[in-house]
A and B are shown apart, each in its own frame.
Chain A
């Protein structure tokens, strides 16, 4: 090795055998610039080298799929000649180092992925994980939470895309490694989707957007390594977001896409200019030649290495038709943006980078993209499972179910997230049919009768206990949530958050979870159209819970029939669809009330889940459902209580069969494939009949009315308290958590 020794390789996150491959594909030793380019393209983040063999097993095809994995985002047909374009992505590592900018630029990145496909972004969601808000790191966690929420709000609100929902969970293993997963959905004409291609030799390549600075260099490499106590030193690898610039880019790109001057476009996200040029070339089998002297620069004296690896935000790379340059430049000028002509498409399949005319890098695009290493890493079932899975249900001490319910309602994972979503503009664009906190996100599609429902779900605790079943439950819950809003699940995206894949135990979790996602998606006929993998989520050698997060998109045929969580008035019949079993393993109840994370998560029968989802969609479409709420975290008692909240104090009286010696299972078990719905008294028989025909167990368990929550198990009163008292606890818990007052911006 010449200037490239082991220390250089290590700084670039490359293994010696990977370096050998580089030398082989080039037929010579790389320059430092070329090494940098290889290092980001072959990083875990860009190459999916550890995950690829597993991801290939996921179902990606379906009758509505217009675009599966491999492009900037996936797309499904939603009728009326329109497509829904959506994807979820993580920004975990940057959000821990710099919460506000990390989260903000995560939002910016996923929005660019959507509009590069030619879609107008219409909704955002997010899935967040933090450590506990109390305990030794509570104050720091609160600071991270505040920063992340402010960052998501700051970016999404400014750019004018509503954040219509999401989920947040608090668990100890996320203390040193929070998760920030952001989802975006846009709509486009189905016949006008734009691809990230570089076709047509001689066509000009344009750079548009913010100038390139030294920020974010090696961000993709950072996202592919574990954290330790020196991680704060990596702060310069976090980028700074400018939502105003992105708003201009968004409008200008959509205006350009209305015409036919554009060939292809890709945003410069992870690995920046390097990734955009090589991926666009590789998709088309073409080459791209650029001269970095034409790249707009924010700082002086930047080297080609720095320019190629910078991850400055709000930049796009475009290939346009030769001869249409003036038209393209004119559109960007209108929006006060400068489109810089940086190069051309060639026919040699090479990424050729020049600096003032002299070649500084020349690499086959194929080598960077298609020939990146793929590892089948060893897997091993972790030893901890043998310790945590056995769990003696009968040995749990008896507790007062009323106290247990109040404790659960105050748990940050279950408590109202109003403190968070009130900071998000969830109404801009006037499409939001379900206000934040009231169920799945639902936006209408103007100009049609239809609406789109969306939900992001995942449960790391379940996956810790059984990654395969936990992942299946995540798919089922997300699909059930959109069905509760009347949406037929038509597509999914996944964000796979795991620890260090070089450890066989982590790789086992990953393999199991992906297998579970595949199985559930196949059974529920929900294809995966894209997603993102985030590995190395560890701090000081401690991994997060394995956390696959699933985003499901549902199609609502009639936007005027969208049930929400809340009861609509007195005297309605409350019906439990699905069946409760004695399943306390892995539940929020077991954790919050008994301080244990143990057992196995609830069983899942995918045929039952599919039948329930179909029933919910049919009943919603028939206008039968006055309210519908998925029954999951906290079990039936929490679900019924949540249905009574935000109603102005409408109570409920229910009675459910006993399942064990104590009422805990009946009230707090998290059995899958269940939903609580309310219907007009006169329609109860109709719904029960529909359920029977669909093969879904269903029972009228009570009635809405009064001002109290009255829950009986096997005829014996278990919980009796005023709705207002319970709602007060649930509604203010997140604000009242310890650590709150220690934080001042």
Chain B
């Protein structure tokens, strides 16, 4: 079982994702440079956080043209589990693998802090080990995490159960006060129609060891391991 962590120029949470997968989870992990055209046989792909291409033009806007993104798109089209974290989520939206866009936080300031998110869906490769409604404590660190989509898209996301994570308070209530950036419907993360591509603004890879403040993020990695075990079994059956 192998994880690929894509490295764009300006990625800066690539080492964090690699560390979480390799040293905490204990799985195989490889960095894949953005100029590569192959994912080197990866079973899971992570688009890490950071400031790809300095986030010049728009966050995530230039990374979509990196050579590796063709391979990432076909990996997703083939149903492979693909996780975009923070800047990785922004890249997924720019690439149209996920709908909507991330705008500047409503107070126009960067926010770094632990927030609570509620797991809304447990039928994605990255949440199947979570309980429905489980509240996770995860860090955010972004200036542009304010999720926006038009009304029709939002309605479609909600109707099809594609809002995967929603900001909430400690008790799991999605209130305006618990929404750190002004995201519509308190959306912290979504998935595609096929449910194999998940993007979220919070950083699960920073929350995999309790000395760092939370280990709640591990459930995303545990989930995808379980998912692969199941699906690997299906394919070989």
Q: Do A and B come from one complex?
A: yes
Show the binding face of A for B, using Cβ within 8 Å. 150, 153-154, 157-160, 242-245, 247-248, 335-336, 421-430, 432-433, 435-436, 444, 446, 559-560, 745
Q: With A and B bound together, what is the CA distance between A624 and B53 in angstroms? A: 47
Other-chain contact of A335, B9, B50, B213 (Cβ < 8 Å)? B9
Given contacts A158-B51, A242-B54, contact A427 B212 (CB under 8 A): yes
Given A421-B112, A423-B109, 18 additional A-B pairs, CB 8 A: A157-B141, A158-B54, A159-B51, A160-B51, A243-B54, A244-B51, A247-B10, A247-B54, A248-B9, A422-B110, A423-B110, A427-B141, A427-B206, A427-B212, A429-B16, A435-B213, A446-B19, A560-B211
Does B188 touch A at the CB level, under 8 Å? no
Q: List 29 A–B pairs whose Cβ atoms lie within 8 Å, in order of A's numbering.
A: A150-B109, A153-B110, A157-B51, A157-B141, A158-B10, A158-B51, A158-B54, A160-B12, A160-B13, A243-B51, A244-B9, A244-B51, A244-B55, A245-B54, A247-B54, A248-B9, A335-B9, A336-B9, A422-B111, A423-B111, A423-B112, A425-B141, A427-B141, A427-B213, A428-B12, A428-B141, A428-B206, A430-B205, A430-B212
Asked if residues A425 and B9 are in contact (CB atoms below 8 Å), the reply is: no
Asked if residues A745 and B12 are in contact (CB atoms below 8 Å), the reply is: no
Q: With A and B bound together, what is the CA distance between A435 and B10 in angstroms? A: 24
Q: Determine the chain B residues whose CB is within 8 A of the CB of A157 once the complex forms.
A: 51, 110, 112, 141, 143
Asked if residues A425 and B54 are in contact (CB atoms below 8 Å), the reply is: no
Asked if residues A160 and B112 are in contact (CB atoms below 8 Å), the reply is: no
Does B20 touch A at the CB level, under 8 Å? yes
Q: With A and B bound together, what is the CA distance between A248 and B20 in angstroms? A: 24
Give the shortest distance, in Å, between B177 (CB) and chain A (any CB): 14
Q: With A and B bound together, what is the CA distance between A432 and B19 in angstroms? A: 14
What sequence of 0s and 1s flags, for each residue 69-102 of chain B, a beta carbon within 8 Å of any chain A beta carbon?
Answer: 0000000000000000000000000000000000
The 5 closest A-B pairs by CB, nearest first: A160-B12, A244-B54, A425-B141, A158-B51, A430-B16
Other-chain contact of A244, B53, B139, B211 (Cβ < 8 Å)? B53
Q: With A and B bound together, what is the CA distance between A436 and B111 in angstroms? A: 13
Q: Determine the chain B residues whose CB is within 8 A of the CB of A426 once the complex forms.
A: 112
Instruction: Give the bracket for the number of chain B residues in contact with chain A.
Output: 20 to 34
Q: Determine the chain A residues whose CB is within 8 A of the CB of B109 once the complex forms.
A: 150, 422-423
Q: Determine the chain B residues whose CB is within 8 A of the CB of A446 once the complex forms.
A: 19, 23
Q: With A and B bound together, what is the CA distance between A429 and B112 in angstroms? A: 14
Q: With A and B bound together, what is the CA distance between A436 and B143 in angstroms? A: 18
Give the shortest distance, in Å, between B12 (CB) and chain A (any CB): 2
Q: With A and B bound together, what is the CA distance between A436 and B54 in angstroms? A: 25
| B11 nearest CB neighbor, chain A only | A160
Given contacts A158-B55, A243-B51, A244-B56, contact A427 B10 (CB under 8 A): no
Given contacts A422-B111, A430-B19, A430-B205, contact A244 B213 (CB under 8 A): no
Show the binding face of B for A, using Cβ within 8 Å. 9-10, 12-13, 15-16, 19-20, 23, 49-51, 53-56, 108-113, 139, 141, 143, 203, 205-206, 208-209, 211-213
Asked if residues A430 and B20 are in contact (CB atoms below 8 Å), the reply is: yes
Q: Determine the chain A residues whose CB is within 8 A of the CB of B10 once the complex forms.
A: 158, 244, 247-248
Q: With A and B bound together, what is the CA distance between A435 and B112 in angstroms? A: 10
Given contacts A430-B20, A430-B212, contact A422 B9 (CB under 8 A): no
| A559 nearest CB neighbor, chain B only | B211
| A149 nearest CB neighbor, chain B only | B109
| A562 nearest CB neighbor, chain B only | B211
Other-chain contact of A428, B13, B54, B208, B211 (Cβ < 8 Å)? B13
Q: Determine the chain A residues whose CB is within 8 A of the CB of B141 once the complex forms.
A: 157, 425, 427-428
Asked if residues B9 and A247 are in contact (CB atoms below 8 Å), the reply is: yes
Interface centre among A150, A160, A435, A444 (most CB of B within 10 A): A160
Q: Determine the chain B residues whose CB is within 8 A of the CB of A160 once the complex forms.
A: 12-13, 50-51
Give the shortest distance, in Å, between A580 (CB) and chain B (any CB): 34
Q: With A and B bound together, what is the CA distance between A159 and B212 in angstroms? A: 21
Give the shortest distance, in Å, between B30 (CB) and chain A (any CB): 17
Given contacts A244-B10, A428-B13, A560-B211, contact A422 B113 (CB under 8 A): yes
| B212 nearest CB neighbor, chain A only | A430
Asked if residues A425 and B110 are in contact (CB atoms below 8 Å), the reply is: yes
| B180 nearest CB neighbor, chain A only | A422
Asked if residues A424 and B54 are in contact (CB atoms below 8 Å), the reply is: no
Q: Determine the chain B residues whose CB is within 8 A of the CB of A247 once the complex forms.
A: 9-10, 12, 51, 54
Asked if residues A427 and B211 are in contact (CB atoms below 8 Å), the reply is: no
Q: Determine the chain B residues whose CB is within 8 A of the CB of A248 once the complex forms.
A: 9-10
Asked if residues B112 and A425 are in contact (CB atoms below 8 Å), the reply is: yes
Q: With A and B bound together, what is the CA distance between A429 and B212 in angstroms? A: 11
Interface centre among A422, A425, A435 (most CB of B within 10 A): A425
Q: With A and B bound together, what is the CA distance between A166 and B23 in angstroms? A: 30
Given contacts A157-B110, A422-B111, A422-B113, contact A429 B15 (CB under 8 A): yes
Other-chain contact of A433, B13, B50, B203, B212 (Cβ < 8 Å)? B212
Q: Determine the chain A residues whose CB is within 8 A of the CB of B19 once the complex forms.
A: 430, 446
Q: With A and B bound together, what is the CA distance between A537 and B16 in angstroms? A: 41
Asked if residues B113 and A432 are in contact (CB atoms below 8 Å), the reply is: no
Q: With A and B bound together, what is the CA distance between A429 and B16 in angstroms? A: 5
Give the shortest distance, in Å, between A391 (CB) and chain B (any CB): 42
Q: Determine the chain B residues whose CB is within 8 A of the CB of A428 once the complex forms.
A: 12-13, 16, 49, 141, 206
| B203 nearest CB neighbor, chain A only | A427
| A157 nearest CB neighbor, chain B only | B110
Give the shortest distance, in Å, between A716 (CB) and chain B (any CB): 39
Q: Determine the chain A residues whose CB is within 8 A of the CB of B205 once the complex forms.
A: 430
Give the shortest distance, in Å, between A358 (CB) and chain B (any CB): 38
Asked if residues A422 and B12 are in contact (CB atoms below 8 Å), the reply is: no
| A163 nearest CB neighbor, chain B only | B112
Q: Determine the chain A residues whose CB is within 8 A of the CB of B139 once the complex forms.
A: 427
Q: With A and B bound together, what is the CA distance between A745 and B13 in angstroms? A: 29
Q: With A and B bound together, what is the CA distance between A423 and B139 in angstroms? A: 13
Q: Determine the chain A residues whose CB is within 8 A of the CB of B50 once the complex forms.
A: 160
Q: Determine the chain A residues whose CB is within 8 A of the CB of B49 once the complex forms.
A: 428
Q: With A and B bound together, what is the CA distance between A438 and B187 in angstroms? A: 30
Give the shortest distance, in Å, between B212 (CB) and chain A (any CB): 6
| A423 nearest CB neighbor, chain B only | B110
Asked if residues B112 and A424 are in contact (CB atoms below 8 Å), the reply is: yes
| A436 nearest CB neighbor, chain B only | B112
Interface centre among A154, A159, A428 (most CB of B within 10 A): A428
Give the shortest distance, in Å, between A152 (CB) and chain B (any CB): 10
Q: With A and B bound together, what is the CA distance between A296 and B208 in angstroms? A: 45
Give the shortest distance, in Å, between B97 (CB) and chain A (any CB): 24
Give the shortest distance, in Å, between B61 (CB) and chain A (any CB): 13
Give the shortest distance, in Å, between B187 (CB) and chain A (any CB): 21
Q: Determine the chain A residues whose CB is within 8 A of the CB of B213 once the complex forms.
A: 427, 435
Asked if residues B12 and A430 are in contact (CB atoms below 8 Å), the reply is: no
Interface centre among B23, B108, B110, B209 (most CB of A within 10 A): B110
Q: Determine the chain B residues whose CB is within 8 A of the CB of A430 once the complex forms.
A: 16, 19-20, 205-206, 208-209, 212
Q: With A and B bound together, what is the CA distance between A543 and B206 in angstroms? A: 44
Q: Determine the chain B residues whose CB is within 8 A of the CB of A559 once the complex forms.
A: 211
| A337 nearest CB neighbor, chain B only | B9
Q: Determine the chain A residues whose CB is within 8 A of the CB of B206 once the complex forms.
A: 427-428, 430
Q: With A and B bound together, what is the CA distance between A154 and B10 in angstroms? A: 13
Q: With A and B bound together, what is the CA distance between A248 and B52 in angstroms? A: 11
Q: With A and B bound together, what is the CA distance between A423 and B140 in angstroms? A: 11
Give the shortest distance, in Å, between A452 (CB) and chain B (any CB): 14
Give the shortest distance, in Å, between B36 (CB) and chain A (any CB): 12
Asked if residues B108 and A745 are in contact (CB atoms below 8 Å), the reply is: yes
| A435 nearest CB neighbor, chain B only | B213
Give the shortest distance, in Å, between A32 (CB) and chain B (any CB): 37
Q: With A and B bound together, what is the CA distance between A160 and B55 in angstroms? A: 13
| B9 nearest CB neighbor, chain A only | A248
Give the shortest distance, in Å, between B54 (CB) and chain A (any CB): 3
| B209 nearest CB neighbor, chain A only | A430
Q: With A and B bound together, what is the CA distance between A543 and B146 in angstroms? A: 44
| A744 nearest CB neighbor, chain B only | B108
| B35 nearest CB neighbor, chain A only | A334
Give the shortest distance, in Å, between A428 (CB) and chain B (any CB): 6
Q: Determine the chain B residues whose CB is within 8 A of the CB of A245 once the complex forms.
A: 54
Give the shortest distance, in Å, between B11 (CB) and chain A (any CB): 8
Q: Determine the chain B residues whose CB is within 8 A of the CB of A435 once the complex forms.
A: 213
